[in-house]
Amino acid sequence: MAASAFDELKKLGDVISDANRRKKFAADPSKALADEGINPAGIPAGVLNTLSGLSAEELRLLADVNASLSAAKVPHEVRSEIV
């Protein structure tokens, strides 16, 4: 994956981590991506399709798990295996 793909994924992760932005994404993923300046072509289609199908509550749970793992200083490589 190119560096720009990681950048787009990071931006999407930031959206999912913020309650208001997460709700906008859950309601209309395409519009939310455009509003945030995120290029959907920079996100693997399977990832985007999966996240786009989740409710705001389901996205919150993902964000909460990621935040908990981060707070516990679990390395990124291990977090990616869990989330």
Among 30, 50, 47, CA closest to 39: 30
Phi-psi group of 69: left, alpha or beta (phi > 0 → left; psi -120 to 50 → alpha; rest → beta): alpha
Q: What is the pLDDT of residue 5?
A: 57
Q: What is the pLDDT of residue 81?
A: 76
Tens digits of pLDDT across the chain (83 residues): 455 658 999 999 999 999 999 999 999 999 999 999 999 999 999 999 999 999 999 999 999 998 999 999 999 888 877 77
Q: What is the pLDDT of residue 1?
A: 47
Q: What is the pLDDT of residue 51?
A: 97
> How many structural domains is the chain composed of?
1
Which residue range(s) make up the domain with 55?
Answer: 3-82
